[in-house]
Amino acid sequence: MADMDVALKDALQVDGAIAVAVVDWTSGMSLGTAGGGFGFDISVAAAANTEVLRAKLRTLDMLGLREPVEDILVTLDSQYHLIRPITAADGAGLFLYLALNRDRANLAMARHRLRLIEKQLEV
């Protein structure tokens, strides 16, 4: 098991990683962040992406789909943004948010690594 600081550092090792956060989706507050800078405020991005996750969860509820969200991908011209809810019991209500440079990232590998980090994370 990895503590939050180790998990955040591991996520920043993903090729193309710009920033990462562990976020409480009930409040939008980041519990931990790493990376960012150069005009990318990870705390603001994490809080705003809380609304993306909430909207998706409401949509699934309205559709009667009882499947969990594995991850959500937002694709921009120059970036990928991955949102991954934490499934461990001690991580209920939290998600991992990872921003990637699209030119440098391998999306399949990033999703795989984020899945592993999420499974090992101790909150």
CA distance 101 to 106: 9
Q: Are 7 and 119 in contact (CB under 8 A)?
A: no
Domain-wise residue ranges, the chain: 4-120
> The pTM is what?
0.93
CA distance 54 to 7: 24
pLDDT tens-digit map of 42-87: 999 999 999 999 999 999 999 999 999 999 999 999 999 999 999 8
Q: Which CATH class is domain 4-120?
A: alpha beta
